[in-house]
Amino acid sequence: MERTVSLLGHPAVIVDRDESHYLRTLPSHFEADTLAVFSAFCAPHFNALDVGANIGLTAIALGRLCAQGHVFAIEASPDTFPYLYQNVARSGLKNVRCENLAAAATAGEVELSHPEVFSAGAFVSDKYQFAKQALLQHRVRALPMDDYLDGRGVERIDFIKIDVEGFELEVLRGLRRTIERCKPVVFCEVNHWCLNVLHRICLPDFVEEVRSILPHVFAINTDAEVLDLSNPHALHKFYHDHTTQQAFPNLLCGFDHDALQARLAWLPRFYRLERSDVEMEAERVQMRAQFEQEAAALRCEAETLRAERDAIVNSRSWRFAAPLRKLRAWSRGAAPNGQVH
């Protein structure tokens, strides 16, 4: 399956398996809220780490924004990785390196599971017994990202994105040295269903451990609303709205509170830019659909008129009246002196 998706205002031709539910249902414009965060917090010289790169949309976006730096795209699923590699190659970006392994706290192997038609939702399933009975499974190589980055001589990481279906704490535990040394900005998904059901971690425990690694944590909603989780009222609102409404699905974390707040103040502007692109495309699609609908109605009306005309022309009364029509036409076209007008 192949689709063209707009990323940061530019098209990207993306491929995935033919039966892919993810790519089939993906909007023509990639997530405006995610791209707004990338735009607000990434710079051209940055090195970025994309953990849970899936089929490559976030890796390509980071590769474009960090054009003078390097992006390390990590994807654990052996079913998904070939599409990540192919999509990055098709993008023409030379600064994105793709790796097929799981980011974890310790080296070894983990069990990965996913539905047959939704490998984008692959998750580490060591603690989830249902996965052993109903889902596709793989044993995959796992490595702490500290070891991975050290082994490649990467001295600086400026931005980290993590989206691993509830396995985020394990990824952060394997990044402690890098985080302490580089003090990057970390953009991390939070999903209480994945945390609770797949990994038996409650939301408050998750947030507390994240804050023990990254001292300043903000929750970001899909409409660019931001909560500073150092504020008890904001923290309560986050717990309530996330668990009851699935709101605030991402955390933005770092070390410099004022610098984070200054960047977050720009987030609504970047969000509006991304949304305006989406809305313009949606308006164009709507206008095109309306045009096609009106054109189809006109074609239908024309066909009806042609059918009525043919029925009249082929009728017996029309044929019998032919001499009278000729006489009438002749009388209208003849002048009193016999000359034709």
DSSP string spanning 295-309? HHHHHHHHHHHHHHH
Q: Report the DSSP pairing between strands 96-99 and 123-124.
A: unpaired
pLDDT of 338 above 50: no
The dihedral sign for the CA sequence 331, 334, 340, 341: negative
Residue 339 confidence class, pLDDT cut points 50, 70, 90: very low
Q: Return d(Cα 89, Cα 96) in angstroms, integer.
A: 9
Q: Does residue 182 sit within a domain?
A: yes
**Looking up tokens 């953009």, which residue turns up?**
187
pLDDT of 126 above 80: no
The dihedral sign for the CA sequence 115, 117, 119, 120: negative
How many domains does the structure of the chain reveal? Answer: 1
Which residues are within 8 A (CB) of 138 and not within 5 positions of it... i.e. 6 or more apart?
Answer: 77, 78, 79, 111, 112, 113
Q: Return d(Cα 80, Cα 100) in angstroms, integer.
A: 9
Would you state the pLDDT for residue 231? 97
Residues 75-104 have a mean pLDDT of 96
Which residues are within 8 A (CB) of 194 and not within 5 positions of it... i.e. 6 or more apart?
Answer: 123, 165, 166
CA 194 to the chain's CA centroid? 19
Residues 185-193 have a mean pLDDT of 96
Would you state the pLDDT for residue 244? 96
The CATH number linked to 244 is 3.40.50.150
Q: Does residue 335 sit within a domain?
A: no
The whole-model pTM stands at: 0.80
CA 341 to the chain's CA centroid? 72
**Looking up tokens 């044929």, which residue turns up?**
319
Give the single-character DSSP code of 200.
-
Q: Which residue range forms the structural domain that includes residue 103?
A: 2-274
Q: Does residue 77 sit within a domain?
A: yes
Q: If residue 254 lies in a helix (H) or strand (E), which one and from where to where?
A: strand 250-254
pLDDT of 337 above 60: no
Residues 96-105 have a mean pLDDT of 97
Q: Does residue 98 sit within a domain?
A: yes
Q: Does residue 54 sit within a domain?
A: yes
Would you state the pLDDT for residue 51? 98
Dihedral pair phi/psi, residue 223, rounded to 5°? -105, 15
Pick the closest to residue 112 from 68, 147, 164 (CA basis): 164
pLDDT in tens, 29-50: 788 889 999 999 999 999 999 9
Q: Does residue 172 sit within a domain?
A: yes
Would you state the pLDDT for residue 322? 77
Would you state the pLDDT for residue 140? 93
Q: Does residue 331 sit within a domain?
A: no
Residues 288-310 have a mean pLDDT of 75
Would you state the pLDDT for residue 100? 97
Is 264 in contact with 271 (CB distance < 8 Å)?
no
Residue 10 confidence class, pLDDT cut points 50, 70, 90: confident
Q: Does residue 298 sit within a domain?
A: no
Residue 134 confidence class, pLDDT cut points 50, 70, 90: low
